[in-house]
Structure 1
Amino acid sequence: MPSDRIMLGLGLRLLAILMLSTMGALIKLVETRGAHLVEIMLFRQLFAIPFILAWVAAGAGLASLRTRHFGMHVTRSAVGLTGMVFNFGAVLLLPLAEATTFGFTVPIFATLLGALVLKEPTGWHRWGAVLAGFVGVLIVTQPGSGHIPLGGALVGLIAALFVAIVAIQLRQMARTEAPPTTVFWFSILSVPPLAIGYLFVAAPHDWQTFALLVAIGLVGGAAQLALTAALRFAPVSVVVPMDYSSLIWATLYGYLLFGALPSPWTWVGAPIIIASGLYIVWRERQRGLARSSPVTAADEPPTGA
């Protein structure tokens, strides 16, 4: 693969992570202005749809959205919405840097689920990485110290678990469904239940708050496109390390918008979690090379579920 295409893939991935970090900051900011979690989720899904439709129209065409596996999309949407509750909830309950750090445990949960649910062979190398990752989590949370809310930490870990579950779902769905089809149906199917929930929590806002809500959807939709486009130019194992740049953006947004900086324990634990995740990715890459089967977009952990 030409190096210039790989560099383009890396650049797109970095751009996607910046936009996702921006979305997280907007979520936390709009909550301080009185927006409800259900309301935030509705705007995130609703205003991402134009980006998705434009993406599909420019590619395979709208006819490609037909599916013979509607029930599978319904299940994926239910799990994805549940995961989004925990993902957004972690952002609301925790400082941005800590919420981001817990998100780095996705490869750890993916390894656990792969071994326990899919019965994938998992050697002591990756089990060691899983153990190291959870040691990093304990360092960040400092249980019993009151350092960060344990409820928020639990929500953050459950969010990462659901992202891993969705990743397994997408891997299975990729046998019959193209990525644009899956993304489209998740967005469309999630809007009606969120709209019903919105009827019970709707509240008046000023125009700036509504503008922030719309921006969450637009930025999130654009990030989804950038994530997908990055995989057209570079393999998953090459672009995944770029995801850890989100800790830089989360720290910057946390300080500039909310006057919050990560604790020293976060800076100690986060590198351990990051290193365990990167090692798991590297081991999976080695196993993939041994099997001579390339890693595909279906193996990509879906950011934000």
Structure 2
Amino acid sequence: MLAMVVSSLCFPMLGVVVRAVRQQDDVFTVMFFSGLLNCIALWTVLLVREKRGAFRTSIPHVHLIRGALGALGATSIVYSMKFVQVDLALTVLMSSPVWSALLARFWLKEELNWATWLAIGLGFCGILIAANPGVEGLNFWVLLILVPAVGISLQNTMMTRYTGFGESPWKWSAFNELGILVSSCLLWFSLERTFVDLESAWLYLLIPAFLLPAVYFVSYAFLNGRASVIAPLGYVQLPTAALYGWLVFEETPENKTYYGALLIILAGLILIRFAPKSKYP
């Protein structure tokens, strides 16, 4: 439980740092240099742990697809974080269990009970409230953050689908970050070719500093604890994100963010409590 709490404290800080660097650097510059540092950190850990086995995989096509999804999601969230408060971004991202349930039904062919469909409906309503639909339409930046939310769900579902191939959590993360780095490098070289200001370079060093413990502790928690107990602790990220946003950017969450977050949290808890177990271990 402590591991999941530590992870939930680290993930929102990633959002804070990305939002900070996006105030001064272009989207592909942020993606390329942060992706480069993340790749160095993750692959160093993977090489130390698995040595030559770090490069072996029996499912390269799966890693390729996950890397492409990761690149699309990273582009969407890095681009939108300049315009969206940290607490609102985390609220929308935490809707991923709702999308995972839909993917389980239509891709993994799992049976969904009434509680699961209720949770899907509540989660969707929470997203609508957070997106603030009105006369002018849905909040574009919230819709853009839905791209990585759905992408994360698809990536996690792929891990569930291919869990029997012996890939470690570090390997899943390292190959995913490699896909983000390659795509962001091509886009950065083609469209921007700008470099990080030396005065703000230290902020980029904070990204892997928070990413590594976040990835390690969430993997440790789920590998060594009960998912039904561990998963709800992920919602600690929502008040943590609100606190970080207030301390760093003096951002105060709007009422709609609170209401949307409550529905999304309720949907996640219903999924954890009542949803049938996956047929994939």
> Structure 1 length as normaliser, TM-score?
0.83
Tell me what 1:271 maps to. 262
Q: What secondary structure sits across from 2:82 in the alignment? A: helix
Please tell me whether residue 193 in structure 1 is matched to residue 166 in structure 2: no
Tell me what 1:170 maps to. 159
Tell me what 2:231 maps to. 240
Q: State how 1:1-305 maps to structure 2 within 5 Å.
A: 10-32=1-23, 34-144=24-134, 150-179=139-168, 180-199=170-189, 200-284=191-275, 287-288=276-277
Deviation at 1:43, TM superposition (A): 2.8
| 1:80-123 residue CA offsets vs partner (Å, 9 max, x unmatched) | 21122223334333111111111121111111122223321111
Cα RMSD of the aligned pairs, angstroms, is 2.3
Deviation at 1:269, TM superposition (A): 2.4
> C-alpha separation between the residues in 2 aligned to 1:268 and 1:97?
12
Aligned 8 A contact 1:133 1:272 in 2: yes
| 1:27-76 residue CA offsets vs partner (Å, 9 max, x unmatched) | 001111x2122222223322223432343345444424312332222122
Percent of matched pairs sharing the same residue: 21
Q: What secondary structure sits across from 2:148 in the alignment? A: helix
| Change in 2 beyond 3 A, CA 1:181/1:269 | closer
Aligned 8 A contact 2:131 2:142 in 1: yes
Quick one: which amino acid aligns to residue 173 of structure 1? Y
Structure 1 residue ranges without an equivalent (≥5): 1-9, 297-305
Structure 2 residue ranges without an equivalent (≥5): none
> Structure 2 length as normaliser, TM-score?
0.89
> C-alpha separation between the residues in 1 aligned to 2:255 and 2:180?
39
| Change in 2 beyond 3 A, CA 1:280/1:212 | same
Deviation at 1:178, TM superposition (A): 1.1
| Change in 2 beyond 3 A, CA 1:236/1:88 | farther
Q: What secondary structure sits across from 1:246 in the alignment? A: helix
Instruction: Return 217-226 or 254-263, whichever deviates more.
Output: 217-226
| Change in 2 beyond 3 A, CA 1:221/1:201 | farther
Aligned 8 A contact 1:136 1:269 in 2: yes
